[in-house]
Structure 1
Amino acid sequence: MSLINPLNSAQNVGGASQTPNQSVAPAQQTASAAQAATQNTEQTSTTGNPFIDAIRLPDESSIPEPNNQELTQEDFFSLLSQQLSMQDPFKPVDNDQMIAQMASFSTVDGINNLNDEIVNLNTVMTSSQALQASGLVGQKVLIPSDTGHVSAEGRELKGIISTPEAIESITVRVEDEKGQLIKSFTVDGSAGGNVDVAWDGLDKNGEPVADGNYSIKASGKVDGKSEDLAVSTYAHVTSVSLGTASTGAILNLRGVGGIKIGDVLAVAES
């Protein structure tokens, strides 16, 4: 029979009771460190001042650049190589199918090259058109507008009145840029069609008007009813601009502005 020392038993019991405390301490330290890290993060993200927190810049977020969805010739041959490497050796790709695929891609590539050549051709044609249009400098062209310019270089304003049928008398009104009546007179429209009209640049009192733009308004009876008639006026070409492939050459008109050469109705002597 062996004796048990009470002191040793007490120490053993105490040691057994202290062991869990020693294992819990690291866990508590880990939790405390995590809580401190969380508090530091919150302190870093917020300052406690609502105004400053509202105007702070947000964290930068990486936005991936958009991928180019256009397939190139290198992409086609890469896909073709993958197709050939992964095909069934007992069922290889038919030669006709391969040739058809290559021919289709070559056709698309040729169309793209053709589009580039057409753009270059349009540029050359635009320059050539502007060179030819330069011969109109100093001439008068008929434009689809009832507004013309009067200045010391040209006091007379001419135009054409388009009538749907023969009209015995056509009333012509000359107005300034503010719409005020400067002079009115009548012209004979019994011939029908396009009727020439001219204004000498004098007001109703016979005095020369100031330089500026003036409009010619025409009206007449059609089927017994008074109707406004279309009027086109002549303008003096001062220069030519190259323009673009879509607009073509631009004719610069004295006091009126620019007009596309395709909108010109007629060319007259200066």
Structure 2
Amino acid sequence: MSLINPLNNTQALAGQTSVSSQNTGPSQQATSAAIQAATTQSAEETSTTGNPFIDGIRLPDESSIPEANNQELTQEDFFSLLSQQLSMQDPFKPVDNDQMIAQMASFSTVDGINNLNDEIKTLNSVMTSSQALQASGLVGQKVLIPSDTGHISAEDPSLKGIISTPETIESIAVRIEDEKGQLVKTFTIDGSAGGNIDVSWDGLDKNGEPVASGNYSIKATGRVDGTSEELPVSTYAHVTSVSLGTASTGAILNLRGVGGIKIGDVLAVSET
């Protein structure tokens, strides 16, 4: 009986393994690639079940959140949400036809309101342009504005305005002040007629000399019920040009030396 050396047997097996690993040829590599491809395909097939409802509720492998670019829902977004709602509904409790029609009608109403807003904006633009065109007829004329400040220049050497009185006043004291608030001239006018009293300043100071060009204020005081009170004064200004403005402001009248004023704030129009 012969004995087998375990050590020699182990070495022989190791040699066979080494030879087997070194003799790996192209055919064995192709076989490994085919097995790996089959495994990948099998994994992909197991990710879907073929049932749209079950596949629809599976968590996605990657985030599919779109980038935020617009916060407004369009008609395409609405139909996308409606289609998603129909695909996710319970087949035993489908969406009622009335509910679906109500949703579509609601979206149509919202879409109609948006279109109406666009039309209103266009209409406002047209009305603003038309108003500016009509206001252009005021260029070169004088308008009464609710301000006690007027402009004196070589073209307009005098200043006119209106003093509003709550009742008849025998005598109204008028003061003319420059832009710094310094007194330029004082005089009195008759206010016995009551109501709106015309006031006019010839543009001369207390010494009878023409004043320099600039803005001057008309201040008026009178005794009302036995008490001296400041009376509201409005002045006339020369319109040099008209600006379109916006839908909220309307046409803007540009006044010589005074600035701009909304056409809606004009109290009266006077001839030149």
TM over 0.5, yes or no?
A: yes
Total equivalences in the alignment? 207
Q: State the distance in 1 between where 2:124 and 2:85 align.
A: 41
Residue in structure 2 matched with residue 97 of structure 1 by the alignment: 99
Q: State the distance in 1 between where 2:239 and 2:265 align.
A: 14
Residue in structure 2 matched with residue 158 of structure 1 by the alignment: 160
Aligned CA-pair RMSD: 1.5
The one-letter code of the counterpart of 1:204 is K
| C-alpha displacement of 1:65 | 6.3
Residue in structure 1 matched with residue 198 of structure 2 by the alignment: 196
The one-letter code of the counterpart of 2:142 is K
Residue in structure 2 matched with residue 79 of structure 1 by the alignment: 81
Q: Which has the larger displacement, 171-180 or 82-91?
A: 82-91
The one-letter code of the counterpart of 1:122 is N
Residue in structure 2 matched with residue 172 of structure 1 by the alignment: 174
The one-letter code of the counterpart of 2:195 is G
The one-letter code of the counterpart of 2:83 is S
Matching of residue 216 in structure 1 with residue 218 in structure 2: yes
Q: State the distance in 1 between where 2:157 and 2:224 align.
A: 32
Alpha carbons of structure 1 residues 84 and 66: separation in structure 2 relative to 1, 3 Å: closer
- SS of the aligned residue for 1:243 comes to strand
Alpha carbons of structure 1 residues 180 and 194: separation in structure 2 relative to 1, 3 Å: same
Q: State the distance in 1 between where 2:80 and 2:199 align.
A: 72
Residue in structure 2 matched with residue 205 of structure 1 by the alignment: 207
TM-score of the superposed pair, with normalisation by structure 2: 0.73
| C-alpha displacement of 1:68 | 3.7
- SS of the aligned residue for 1:75 comes to helix
Residue in structure 2 matched with residue 5 of structure 1 by the alignment: none
- In structure 2, runs of 5+ residues without a counterpart are 1-65
Identity, in percent, stands at: 88
- In structure 1, runs of 5+ residues without a counterpart are 1-63
| C-alpha displacement of 1:114 | 0.8
Q: State the distance in 1 between where 2:151 and 2:222 align.
A: 24
Q: State the distance in 1 between where 2:251 and 2:266 align.
A: 11
Residue in structure 2 matched with residue 234 of structure 1 by the alignment: 236
- Out of 182, 185, 188, the residue aligned to residue 184 of structure 2 is 182
